[in-house]
Amino acid sequence: MSKTTIAALAAVASMALIGTAQAADFSYRSPYTVNQPLNAYSWAGPYLGGNLGYGWGSVQNSATSPNGVFGGVQAGYNWQNGPLVFGLEGDIQASAADDTFAPWKFSNPWFGTVRGRLGYAFNNVLVYGTGGLAFGALRAETFGLSESHTNAGWTVGVGAEFGIYQNWTAKVEYLYVDLSSSNFSITAAPNSYQFGLIRAGVNYHF
pLDDT in tens, the chain (206 residues): 444 444 443 443 443 334 334 333 333 334 555 555 656 899 999 999 999 999 999 999 999 999 999 999 999 999 999 999 999 999 999 999 999 999 999 999 999 999 999 999 999 999 999 999 999 999 999 999 999 999 999 999 999 999 999 999 999 999 999 999 999 999 999 999 999 999 999 999 99
**Domains contained in the chain, number:** 2
> Are 109 and 191 part of one and the same domain?
yes
pLDDT at 29: 35
Domain for residue 151, yes or no? yes
CB 99 within 8 A of CB 91: no
Q: Which domain holds residue 12?
A: 1-30
Question: In degrees, to the nearest 5, what angle opens at C-alpha 124 toward C-alphas 88 and 132?
Answer: 20
Q: What pLDDT shows up at residue 40?
A: 82
In a domain, 36, yes or no: no
**Do 52 and 103 share a domain, yes or no?**
yes
Q: What's the whole-model pTM score?
A: 0.81
Q: Is residue 86 part of a domain?
A: yes
